[in-house]
């Protein structure tokens, strides 16, 4: 049997996706069913318990193929966007509604129960959350569920930002959160994934996956750093902002910060890590 990355392979000893039959060993194989994330964001964890580490987050409107559920209210499945596998709260999932038409194009917006900003919001939606908009009402886009979202904060699914570094810069000051992907907290690879996704660039979830999949290698001595270059260390990624500075979510500052490239390299080198590669997109 071939070896598969368990982070993106829906297979366990007792159960696996039907499509993997003959490729992995499992006691049984199931087809799974597609669900939709109906919360602004939902935690995906490696184990079905609330104190398990956060692997990543699924954003509102995302599709998830569910292969298993348990009596404690958890669903085991695979995200459609980046193929990540894990356990999500069943309460965050529902049968798919109408296909999404729009996405949130700002770091965070609010969904109201009616066409007034004086009403108490129903939800706070993160950048990248997807919505099925059925009509316009004044300055609001009305979703299939009846939520009213400021139209100025949405974009059609096929509209993309031009500069992923500028998107990432909008998260300056956001707390560092292992596995996070929103303004409530995100990690280094989550920042890269969300920013690239806003520009229509497919991006794996974790930094080692990103290092293997994104762009082409350029000199790791950073003699000619360019805006948008990605600098990788073991377990970490940062975005070059200009010739002198970079932007990253990191546990040293516990936030998304701008830092001098030389300072970051020196600090991380002091912790025993060297640059493993620099990747350039496009």
How much is the pLDDT for 282?
82
Which tens digit of pLDDT belongs to each residue from 169-197? 999 999 999 999 999 999 999 999 999 99
For range 76-89, the mean pLDDT: 98
Helix, strand, coil proportions of the chain in percent (round to 5)? Answer: 15, 35, 45
Confidence band of 19 (pLDDT split at 50, 70, 90): very high
> pLDDT for 36-51, tens place per residue?
999 999 999 999 999 9
- Residue 134: per-residue pLDDT: 98
pLDDT at 2: 63
Across 162-168, average pLDDT: 98
Model pTM? 0.96
| Percentage of the chain modeled with pLDDT above 90 | 98
Q: What is the pLDDT of residues 97-136, one digit of tens each?
A: 999 999 999 999 999 999 999 999 999 999 999 999 999 9
Assess whether pLDDT exceeds 80 at residue 168.
Answer: yes
Q: What is the pLDDT of residue 42?
A: 98
Other Cβ atoms less than 10 A from the Cβ of 224: the count is 9
Query: How does the average pLDDT of the chain come out, rounded?
Result: 97
Long-range contacts at 25-31 (CB < 8 A, ≥ 24 apart): 25/1, 30/67, 30/68
Angle among Cα 105, 108, 112 to the nearest 5 degrees reads: 100
- Give the whole-angstrom CA distance, residue 211 versus residue 106: 27
For the chain, count helices (H), then strands (E). 4, 25
* pLDDT over threshold 70, residue 162: yes
pLDDT of res. 3:
74
Number of other residues whose CB lies within 10 A of the CB of residue 264? 22
**pLDDT over 70 (residue 1):** no
């Amino acid at each position: 049997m071939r070896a598969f990355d368990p982070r993106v392979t829906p297979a366990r000893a007792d159960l696996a996706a039907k499509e993997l039959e003959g490729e992995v060993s499992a006691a049984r194989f199931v087809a799974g069913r597609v669900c939709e994330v109906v919360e602004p964001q939902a935690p995906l964890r490696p184990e079905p318990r609330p104190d398990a580490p956060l692997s990543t987050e699924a954003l509102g409107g995302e599709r998830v193929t569910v292969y298993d559920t348990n009596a404690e209210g958890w669903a085991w499945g695979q995200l459609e966007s980046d193929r990540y596998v894990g356990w999500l709260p069943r309460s965050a999932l529902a049968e798919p509604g109408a296909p999404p038409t729009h996405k949130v194009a700002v770091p965070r917006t609010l969904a109201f129960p009616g066409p007034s900003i004086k009403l108490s919001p129903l939800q706070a939606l993160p950048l990248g959350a997807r919505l099925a908009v059925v009509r316009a009402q004044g300055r609001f886009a009305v979703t299939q569920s009846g939520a009213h979202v400021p139209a100025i904060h949405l974009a059609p699914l096929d509209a993309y930002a031009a500069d992923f570094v500028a998107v990432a810069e909008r998260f300056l000051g956001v707390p560092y959160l292992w596995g996070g992907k929103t303004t409530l907290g995100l990690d280094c690879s989550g920042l890269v994934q969300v920013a690239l996704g806003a520009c229509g660039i497919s991006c794996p979830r974790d930094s080692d996956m990103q290092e293997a999949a994104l762009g082409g290698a350029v000199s790791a001595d950073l003699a000619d750093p360019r805006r948008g270059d990605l600098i990788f260390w073991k377990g970490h990624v940062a975005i070059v902002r200009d010739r002198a500075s970079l932007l990253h979510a990191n546990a040293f500052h516990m936030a998304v910060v701008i830092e001098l490239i030389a300072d970051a390299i020196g600090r991380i080198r002091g912790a025993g890590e060297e640059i493993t590669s620099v990747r350039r997109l496009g």
